[in-house]
């Protein structure tokens, strides 16, 4: 009886660790392909995992920050998805390449043409953005994830410093400092062409594997380690119970 209890406790412990670690993989997140330097341009990818077992993700709506509007937002085409770019009037016009801009992108919406992101898969949606603000350390992109079941998950909670991560955190893009040679600033951005942007977008697909590993940072790594430990503990408990039972029977 004692051995059976130990085995059951080990199995429950392993399942509990896996249950705790699983949500860490489900967040909609945003990461740059390379770096996102203040005052420069970057290609960023919105990573959308499917966190449901019985429904597909069929729509993603990403709201762009209004406190630091981006004059240039160009999504890369994604096979199997329609994309819609929504612009809004600015209270304070921006200046870009010597021109006044009175509107900026406020939302980008991707809608699946077919099944979308099925259970057990994820999708990345690359976007070229700029000019990134020089007076901010991060940009917050609130997102809505819609499933084929009509469920809508709102990734809109802004993470706060020195506080626990909220249940549905908004994707946050961390901005790095501009390089000393100034190549990340507006002067370098003026030399960029649409061909450069397209090339950067295509390169994002090739670097997706390495970028995915860093999307959740140390949290994902810790979750995986805890999950493995839980499985090992559970398996050890079950094995101990079986061996103890055999010994008792033999005796």
Q: Residue 66: pLDDT band by 50, 70, 90 thresholds?
A: confident
pLDDT value at residue 5:
54
**pTM of the predicted structure, to 2 decimals:** 0.64
Residue 137 has pLDDT above 50, yes or no: yes
Which range has highest mean pLDDT (70-74, 108-112, 235-239)? 108-112
> What token pair was written down for 138?
């991060």
* Residue 64: closest CA among 132, 159, 137: 132
Mean pLDDT within 117-124: 97
Tens-digit pLDDT profile for residues 80-90? 999 999 999 98
pLDDT value at residue 99:
78
Tens-digit pLDDT profile for residues 166-204? 899 999 999 999 876 554 443 334 344 344 444 444 444
Tens-digit pLDDT profile for residues 204-221? 444 444 444 444 444 444
Which range has highest mean pLDDT (143-147, 160-164, 198-202, 227-231)? 143-147
């Amino acid at each position: 009886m004692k051995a059976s209890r130990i085995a059951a406790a080990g199995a429950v412990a392993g399942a509990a660790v896996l249950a705790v670690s699983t949500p860490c993989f489900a967040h909609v997140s945003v990461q740059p392909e390379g770096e996102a330097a203040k005052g420069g341009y970057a290609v960023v990818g919105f990573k959308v995992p499917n966190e449901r077992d019985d429904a597909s993700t069929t729509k993603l709506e990403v709201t762009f920050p209004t406190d630091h509007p981006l004059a240039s937002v160009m999504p890369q085409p994604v096979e199997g998805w329609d994309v819609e770019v929504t612009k809004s009037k600015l209270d304070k016009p921006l200046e870009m390449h010597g021109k006044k801009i009175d509107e900026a992108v406020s939302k980008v919406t991707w809608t699946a043409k077919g099944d979308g992101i099925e259970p057990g898969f994820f999708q990345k949606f690359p976007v070229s953005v700029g000019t990134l603000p020089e007076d901010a350390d991060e940009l917050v992109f609130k997102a809505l994830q819609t499933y084929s079941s009509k469920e809508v998950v709102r990734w809109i909670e802004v993470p706060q410093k020195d506080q626990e991560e909220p249940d549905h955190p908004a994707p946050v893009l961390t901005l790095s400092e501009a390089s000393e040679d100034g190549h990340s600033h507006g002067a370098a951005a003026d030399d960029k062409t649409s061909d450069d942007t397209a090339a950067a977008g295509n390169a994002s697909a090739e670097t997706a594997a390495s970028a995915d590993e860093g999307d959740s940072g140390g949290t994902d790594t810790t979750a995986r380690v805890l999950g493995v430990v839980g499985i090992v503990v559970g398996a050890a408990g079950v094995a101990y119970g079986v061996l103890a039972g055999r010994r008792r029977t033999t005796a």
